Chain A
Amino acid sequence: MTKEDGDDAAFNVFTRRDGTIRHFWSGEMGFETADPGQDPRGAPDLMPMWTILDSTPEGRGTDWYPKLEYTE
């Protein structure tokens, strides 16, 4: 969570060894590490749908976004 009580998506891995909890790894690829013209993204990507779309000639597309609901 951010200081302003907002929230950011994050993936964090922690370990517990001999009673001690430690941070192990988090994704760190954000705006500073993005390539020109790209939205921040990590690698390997956490979301399977990018792998699926990468196997198509059209690729990932640029003018769409997931929806919370889809009407049939």
Chain B
Amino acid sequence: MTRNEALAPASELAKKNGVRFPNESDEYRRARDALLAEEIELRRHIERGAEQRRALPPGGEVTKDYRFEGENGPVNFVDLFGDKQTLAVYSYMFGPERKKPCPMCTSLLSAWDGEARDVEQLSRSQWSRGLRSIASSHSRKSAAGATSSYIQISAATTAATITP
């Protein structure tokens, strides 16, 4: 890709890093600089992936009429967008067959909850739950926190995976 041709080789860029820590050995610094070159390449790899993702052709149209129970009553899928053009939805493992939500999902949502409002400057983010009312949630307070909107899928909706 043309952008890569303009970038300095990672090992050269790493050499320019002047960071040193007290009492570090030469062996440590050599290994740390080699790792830094790898980290620079990782950064570039992540950004190439994001660029490739942004360039995807339009995806499949969503034609199913999904309905959800929001905090303030029933909402349609399009309502989740608010005033934004893009919607990011995390589906939380907490369906009716579970007495408690998935701890891994809860951990993820606890972290995302802190940044949800920042993300929402650009996209609407919905961390949606499975078929369980928020009031009876067993999850940690931070996962049920105040900064994100939580939507529960009402029993009336079609239980189908959202597929393109």
- Residues in A lying within 8 Å of B, measured CB to CB: 1-3, 5-17, 20-25, 44, 46-49, 65-69
Which residues from A are CB-within-8-Å of B130? Answer: 1, 7
Interface pair A12/B162, CB less than 8 Å apart: yes
Verify if B60 is at the interface (C-beta below 8 Å from A). Answer: yes
Interface pair B95/A5, CB less than 8 Å apart: yes
Tally chain B residues at the interface, Cβ within 8 Å. 50
Which residues from A are CB-within-8-Å of B131? Answer: 7
Give the nearest-CB partner of A5 in chain B: B159
A16 to B62, CA, bound (A): 10
28 A-B contact pairs sorted by A residue (CB < 8 Å): A1-B91, A1-B130, A1-B159, A2-B161, A5-B97, A7-B94, A8-B91, A9-B91, A9-B92, A9-B102, A13-B88, A13-B89, A14-B87, A14-B89, A16-B81, A20-B61, A21-B62, A21-B81, A22-B60, A22-B61, A23-B61, A23-B62, A23-B164, A25-B59, A47-B108, A66-B103, A67-B103, A68-B138
Choose one: A1, A16, A23; the contact of B95 (CB below 8 Å): A1
A66 to B62, CA, bound (A): 34
Report the minimal beta-carbon distance from A31 to chain B, rounded to whole angstroms: 16
Verify if B37 is at the interface (C-beta below 8 Å from A). Answer: no
A66 to B106, CA, bound (A): 8
Report the minimal beta-carbon distance from A13 to chain B, rounded to whole angstroms: 5
Interface pair B107/A47, CB less than 8 Å apart: yes
Verify if B28 is at the interface (C-beta below 8 Å from A). Answer: no
Which residues from A are CB-within-8-Å of B59? Answer: 15, 22-25
